[in-house]
Amino acid sequence: MLDFFADPERFIQHASAAQWTQFLQQARQHGLSARFYYLLQRKGLLAQVPQQVQQHGLSAARYAEKQQQALFSELQQLEPLFAAAEYPCVLLKGAAYRCRALPVSYGRLFADIDMLVPAAQLRLTRDKLFFYGFQEVGLSDYDRAYYLNWSHQNPPLQHYQRGTVIDLHHHIYPTASARKIDISPIFSHAEAMPGSAFKLPKSAHLFIHAAVHMFYQEETHKLQKDLIDLNDLLLQVQQEQQLDFMLQQATLMTVQSAVANACQILAEVFANPAAQHCRGSMRLSKAQPLVCYLLLSMLRGDGIRAWLAQQLWFVRGHKLKMRWQVLLYHTLAKPAAAIQQWLRRTLHSDIKRR
Amino acid sequence: MTDFVLHTAPFSVLVTNRCSKLRSALAELYPPSILTAPDDSIIYDFCLDVRRRWAGWGRPFHVSSAQQHFRMTERQQLVPVFEWGLNWCVASYQHQYLAIHAAVLERGGKALIMPAPPGSGKSTLCAALMQEGWRLLSDEMCLVDLLSGEIVPYVRPLSLKNQSLKLLKQWYPQADIRQITTGTTKGTVGYMLPGVSSWQAYRQTATAAWVVFPQYNASQQQLALTCLRKADAFMHLAHNSFNYTVLSARGFNSLSTLVQQTDSFRLEYADIEQALHEINQLC
């Protein structure tokens, strides 16, 4: 999959039927079917791929198109709420990419709408969203407390009819972490979306957020998609001539290592020219070799190596996300809460039977 | 490994599998031209993975596609779960067509579309019509080509459940019904083989001519065939579509054309012979 996104022309020239079968599978697995379709279209390569591949890409592109229409319809519903608010609401990730019509958003699927509001207004925004039909659903008491105390967002809010999910953030990184990231530049540089109350981060900040998400957390299930996002975002930053600004912001926000690692991996996997440029810059610290090795092992390694890397990544991500006291408590309390809940359920059904 | 392929159209599937039972069971349902060994020179639309894995105390079969888990099953129910798994793949990734939950049959190049929710007797009526000489395009999914408006066949064994199985055996003792599985989540399930003409013309499209919304109702004294207004037919079809909302304007245009070119009816019946007679008169 990464080979295709790194060099589609080359992939098309050499792909066998068996490789295309596998390609279609993997594209579905990683939610990249519409992405590959738009990439081929943009590069004028559609006619060169087999008809069947085109058809599946087209099917996915239609789904993605519908999802993007749905995003705007949701934002329109929420417009009055934020128009009346006296604090900024910044869209993040997929919603922001789409509203800025960045190439990374073409055919990109997303599961929820991410928003960032100042920490002091989180509760107020959540309460207001309730009267727009959004509420928290299906969380255990422990998980809810975890979200509120240690994470960087409110528990997901789902619309009671439409099923749309909003991830309401007050930060881009868990507050339980020992690492303190200053996100005030995201707010201060955010630009207004014409005709709307929502604000949109600069491309440099979108890239930094994506890099933080990949390198300071433990999640690995969307690794390929996240990496392709990063690649497109960095090219965008370069195109907008914000590379130096981005490096300066990374220093200011103390997320240099995430950006350095991202550039290292992008240069290696996609030969991304912007990443190569940044890697040579005096402003950027050196990438962490072990971290990059683990990531590449998960991407390219097979069997045991990838599995081991994944386990280490999981432990490392948790360690970064939580101070050691919190991590220790979480490691013990989470299973304890699950057992307690199971016991309560069993006893309850026992009593009911009698 | 006993990998095999189903060369159904418009979607083919490559099955990765370690148990020869599934392949031999499916060989009873699909002709040898459709069920073959994999060929490296062909691109397959979907891949289904069927293999035993540890889960709890047992080692049931896991049916999955592209790392997405569909369902677990014991060996006895492998065939229906496989068929449902394949439907699940297709239902999620077919937006190159307007897909309607409906049975489709053809006679003289013209297609009869019977959309209906489960429990309305759609499959029973479809099976009976097939036994009366109609060519089966699909008992489950009506695929409308968005450019030409033609109905694209997706021929598969016709799935029958519970009471419907008994009735069809009673009405058509010569009908070939195989792989009957009891105790599934949908009760007893069996598969009626499509006629030879269905498999022979498995890629041949048909032009939509009639839309009939069937409703089996045991207490119905007299068969009732009501002509539907175009607007109502449109809304009912949209309601029965898997992806009308996904296709937005394309879906609207395609469905409008379909409704314009067809006559639509609602058919409430208790007696199958009356229903067959009425449909034969109508079409």
| Residue A276 in domain | yes
Distance (Å) from the alpha carbon of B189 to chain A's nearest alpha carbon? 29
For chain B, how many residues are written? 283
Q: Which pLDDT score, from 0 to 100, does residue B58 have?
A: 78
Per-residue model confidence as pLDDT tens digits over A87-142:
999 999 999 999 999 999 999 988 899 999 999 999 999 999 999 999 998 888 88
Q: Which residues of A touch B249 (CB under 8 A)?
A: none
**Which residue carries 């329109």 as its tokens?**
A76
Q: Which pLDDT score, from 0 to 100, does residue A148 have?
A: 85
Distance (Å) from the alpha carbon of A52 to chain B's nearest alpha carbon? 7
Distance (Å) from the alpha carbon of A16 to chain B's nearest alpha carbon? 7
Report the chain A residue with the minimal C-alpha distance to residue B13.
A21
| Residue B11 touches chain A, beta carbons under 8 Å | no
Cβ separation of B66 and A69 shorter than 8 Å? no
| Residue B88 touches chain A, beta carbons under 8 Å | no
Cβ separation of B95 and A62 shorter than 8 Å? yes
Domain ranges of chain B: 4-92, 98-282
Closest in B45, B93, B250 to A52, CB measured: B45
Distance (Å) from the alpha carbon of B65 to chain A's nearest alpha carbon? 8
Q: Which residues of B touch A20 (CB under 8 A)?
A: 43
Cβ separation of A59 and B93 shorter than 8 Å? yes
Q: What is the mean pLDDT of residues A314-338?
A: 81
Per-residue model confidence as pLDDT tens digits over A305-320:
888 888 888 888 887 7
Query: pTM for this one?
Result: 0.88
Axis crossing angle, helix A33-42 with helix A17-29, rounded to the nearest 10: 120
Closest to A265 in 3D by CA, of A318, A223, A324, A316: A223
Closest in A25, A29, A55 to B96, CB measured: A55
Q: Does this complex have an ipTM over 0.95?
A: no
| Residue B147 touches chain A, beta carbons under 8 Å | no
| Residue A18 touches chain B, beta carbons under 8 Å | yes
Cβ separation of A66 and B94 shorter than 8 Å? no
Selected residue with higher pLDDT from B117 and A75 = A75
Cβ separation of B248 and A65 shorter than 8 Å? yes
Reported confidence tier of residue B1, pLDDT bands at 50, 70, 90:
low
Give the number of beta-carbon pairs within 8 Å between A and B.
Answer: 57
Per-residue model confidence as pLDDT tens digits over A45-74:
999 999 999 999 999 999 999 999 999 999
| Residue B260 touches chain A, beta carbons under 8 Å | no
Cβ separation of A28 and B43 shorter than 8 Å? no
| Residue A65 touches chain B, beta carbons under 8 Å | yes
Q: Which domain holds residue A250?
A: 206-322
Closest in A17, A55, A58 to B42, CB measured: A17
Pairing of strands A199-200, A157-159: unpaired
Q: Which pLDDT score, from 0 to 100, does residue B67 have?
A: 78
Domain count, chain A: 1
* Mean pLDDT estimate for chain A: 90
Per-residue model confidence as pLDDT tens digits over A77-96:
999 999 999 999 999 999 99
Closest in B43, B67, B93 to A21, CB measured: B43
What is the Cα–Cα distance from B248 to B231, expressed in whole angstroms? Answer: 17
Per-residue model confidence as pLDDT tens digits over B39-67:
999 999 999 999 888 877 778 888 888 87
State how far the alpha carbon of B241 is from the alpha carbons of A5, B100, B102, B141, in Å: 34, 4, 9, 9
CATH architecture label of B98-282: 3-Layer(aba) Sandwich (3.40)
| Residue B95 touches chain A, beta carbons under 8 Å | yes
Q: What is the mean pLDDT of residues B254-282?
A: 93
Q: Supply the DSSP symbol for B280.
A: H
